[in-house]
Amino acid sequence: MNTIEIEDRLGITFCNRQPIAIERGEGCFVWDEKGNKYLDFTSGWGVTCLGHSHPVITNAIFQQAQKIIQNPNSGFTYSPSRAKLLTSLSTVLPASLSKVYFSNSGAEANDAAIKLARKITAKTKIVSTLASFHGRTFNTLSVSGGKDNTEQYLPLLKDNCFVPFGDMDALAAAVDSDTAAVILEPIQGEGGVRIPRQDYLVSVARYCQERGVLLIVDEIQTGFCRTGKFFAIEHSNQEVKPDIMTMGKGIAGGFPFAAFAISEGVDSRLKKGDHGGTYCGNPLACAVATAVVNFLQTQDIAEKTRVSGDWMLHKLESLQRKYPQLIGSVRAKGLLCAFELGSDDLVAVVTQKCLDNGLLVTPTRNRVIRLIPPLTVDSTELQQGLDILDSSLASVVPSH
């Protein structure tokens, strides 16, 4: 049996897979087992921010793995590798966030944020936004998407509610005396790259502070230069001071890792035993993340991403004008880009056409295709990707 047959027979899958077995990658490209080359505009759902097999990452893995991978007694002992990462993060995090804890995934980070918010406020209600995505654990599913999503798996949690993203009036109406926290993304990723007004996060943060409600900002997909700033909250027209900010995906360039940062106010209300984890900042993951964060800083990747993103948006707008019968709208902030089609069926068709032509894109809910190239992509690779997208769309036009 080949790779696909083995996985289909022995593995559990919860999605429709593309019939392609990727064997290796380098930079913005990957190769399947047959040697076919593809341009990757997915970044592994946004995690491979430096591309595939970047020497900064592979060297960090090699060097740290020769020293120690997991501490004895895990978080009970201190780690030079963890201390280095904490120092690096302290130079890029918002000044209001003073303490950091590490986890394995963004879902874990969000789960912990929700749990701790309920614990320290002694309240249970969480206000989230429609079309949001915060993870697939029990806690995070309960605040993702809306009731059409959560009721598939969960008993109805009456304490949680959803409001339209970007609607400050609706959010204010939903927050009450039982509310522990508001959780939202600065830009909705899985929701289709939905970008709010510049003053939205500022208004939410101010409202939460006035009412003693914690604000959890989910920067898992938008953080680490993805949107042209180190964190997406920096696009707001004033400083945003979240109580808890969660991070993941690009933090370690593809190595499974995540974190959450908290304010002094939150830290003062926590105590020993409130949270924990086996791999909570293991030396190997911390070494990789430190290398990634330092590279993003020294190479000014945020600014390069901003420039590339502006170019991408311009090109997508050109494609929208060229194929008005296919593309309804386009959106982009840095290299988090999306274009909206007429149906989810059309998304599937265009995604397959791109694959056939050598381009990997990310089909997304709400009739959207996302383009999430590595932040290290160059102008030639960007042009190549847009040319493939152009020809893929052209091949679909006759049937639509």
- The residues annotated as belonging to the active site are 133, 218, 249
Specify the DSSP element, H or E, that contains 261.
strand 258-263
Task: Report the distance separating Cα 78 and Cα 101, nearest Å.
Answer: 13
Directed axis angle between helix 283-298 and helix 55-65, to 10°?
150
Strands in 81-198 per DSSP E: 97-103, 125-129, 161-163, 179-184
Residues contacting 9, CB < 8 A, separation 6+ = 1
Which tokens is 383 given? 């042009």
Strand partners of residue 331: 338
Given a contact cutoff of 8 angstroms between Cβ atoms, the answer to whether 112 and 273 are in contact is no
Question: How many Cα atoms sit within 13 Å of 378 on the Cβ side?
Answer: 3
Chain centre to alpha carbon of residue 181 = 20
Instruction: Output 385-391 pairs: Cβ under 8 A, ≥24 positions apart.
Output: 385/39, 385/41, 385/359, 386/312, 386/315, 386/316, 386/319, 388/39, 388/354, 388/357, 388/358, 388/359, 389/319, 389/354, 389/359, 389/361, 390/319, 390/322, 391/357
As a whole number of Å, the end-to-end CA separation of the chain is: 38
Strand arrangement of the beta sheet that strand 362-364 belongs to = 329-333, 336-340, 368-371, 362-364
Strand partners of residue 370: 338, 362
